[in-house]
Structure 1
Amino acid sequence: MRNLFKFLLVPYGLLLCSPGCTALAQTREKVAAAYTSQIGVREATGHNDGVMVETYLHYCGLGKGEPWCASFVCWTFGQASVSNPRSGYCPNLFTPGHVIYKRSIHKPQKVPEQGDVWGLYFPDKRRVAHVGFVDQWGSKYVITVEGNTNEAGSREGDGVYRKRRPISSIYVVAKYIK
C-alpha cells in the first residue's frame, strides 16, 4: 500500500518509522557516511589525479585528468548501492524524473534533503557544470560536500570539501534516494 502513513503513533507515546521510511533513512545515512568519509581527499598534483580521484573517475569509465565532481557523486552513490547514471557529465545527473527543485520555477517544490544532489549553472558553459551533495538545507544556506572544489568553492578545485553556499546559488537539485 503506497498510502501508508510514514509514522505511526503507538501505545506509550512511541513514534515508529515504517519499513519504507527506515530503509530510506538508512540509505541516506549510508550515502552521507560515504561522502563524509571522503572529506580531505586531495589531488596528487593538482591535475585531476591521485588514488581516490582516479577511483571516482574509473567508476564512471573516465581516466586520469578529467573533471571529477560528478564522478565523485556517482561513486558515492555506488558505495551505498544507490542507482545512478555513472556519468562524469554534470547535466546527466538532472533528468526530469530526479529533479525536485529548480531555481527558475516559481512554485512550491520539495525541500532538498541530506544526500540529494545539487548543481550550479555556469552561463559561459550554458549548462550545469559543478555538482555536489546536500548535507543540510537551511533557510538561506546549504551545507554541501563536493568534489573537485577548493576553499573558495571553485569548480576547478583540488579536493573534497564541506562548503557553505547560498541557496540562491543553487540552480537545480535531484533526488536519487527514493
Structure 2
Amino acid sequence: MATIRILLGIVCFAVVGSSWGADGNRIADGDKRTVIETAKKEIGIRESAENAGLRVDQYNAHVGLKKVPWCASFVSWCFGQAGYAQPRTAWSPSLFPADRLAKNPVAGMVLGIYFEHLKRVGHCGIVEEVRNDWVYSIEGNTNLNGSREGDGVYRRMRHKRSVYCFADWLTKT
C-alpha cells in the first residue's frame, strides 16, 4: 500500500510539475528573472583587449564568433544561460524583427539604440526595470558614457525617448 502511495505521489508530482516552467508557447516568469539575474552578475566584467577578454570571449563564442563588437553577443549569452534557444546573434539589428517588436517595455526585454550615422540599431541591452519614463538596463560593450564601443558590462539608465525600439524574446510568437 505504501508503495502505491509513493508511486501515485510521484505521478502527481510529475503531472503538476509538467505545467510549470516552459510550455510550447511561453517561458515561465522565473526564466525572465533568470535572464535579468544572469545579466546583473556580469556587471563589472571588462575587456582585457578590444572586444576580447576571458568572459567577452565566452559571450562571442556563444554566437560562434571571435573578437567582434559584443553587445548582442552579451544579450544572446544571457538568454542562453536562462535556457532560451533564441536570440543567438552578434548583430544587434537582428534582435529586432517585426514580430518581436514591443511598444511597452517590461523587464527582460531587449532595447535597441539607433545610430543615425549607421542608419540602423547599433547597440542593445537587456531591460532590467522600467520606472515611469526611465528604462534601467544592463548592457555589454558599453561604458559610463553609453558608448556602443565600450569596455565592459554596465548598468545604464536611459529615457524611453532615447530608446529606438524594444523586442520581446521572452514569449514565443
- What is the TM-score with the length of structure 2 in the denominator? 0.82
Map of 2:35 onto structure 1: 31
Q: Distance in 1 between matches of 2:36 and 2:138?
A: 9
Distance 1:79 1:51 in 2: 17
What secondary structure is seen at the aligned counterpart in 2 of 1:156?
A: coil
**2:69 aligned residue:** 67
* Runs of 5+ unmatched residues, structure 1: 1-17, 102-110
- What one-letter code is carried by the residue in structure 2 that aligns with 1:25? D
**Identity over aligned pairs, percent:** 41
In the TM superposition, structure 1's runs of 4+ consecutive aligned residues that sit over 6 Å from their partners are: none
Distance in 2 between residues matched to 1:147 and 1:96, nearest whole Å: 23
Q: Which runs of 5+ in 2 are unaligned?
A: 1-18
| Greater gyration radius | 2
8 Å CA contact retained: 1:120, 1:170: yes
Give the alignment's Cα RMSD to 1 decimal.
Answer: 1.8
Q: Kindly provide the CA deviation profile for residues 48-99 of structure 1, in whole angstroms up to 9, marking residues without a partner as x.
A: 11001010011111112x1000000001100011131311001110111111
Deviations 1:20-71 (A, max 9, x none): 79952101111111101100100012x011001010011111112x100000
State the match for 1:41 in structure 2: 45
- Which amino acid letter does the alignment assign opposite residue 76 of structure 2? C
Q: Which amino acid aligns with 1:144?
A: S
Q: Distance in 2 between matches of 1:40 and 1:68?
A: 15
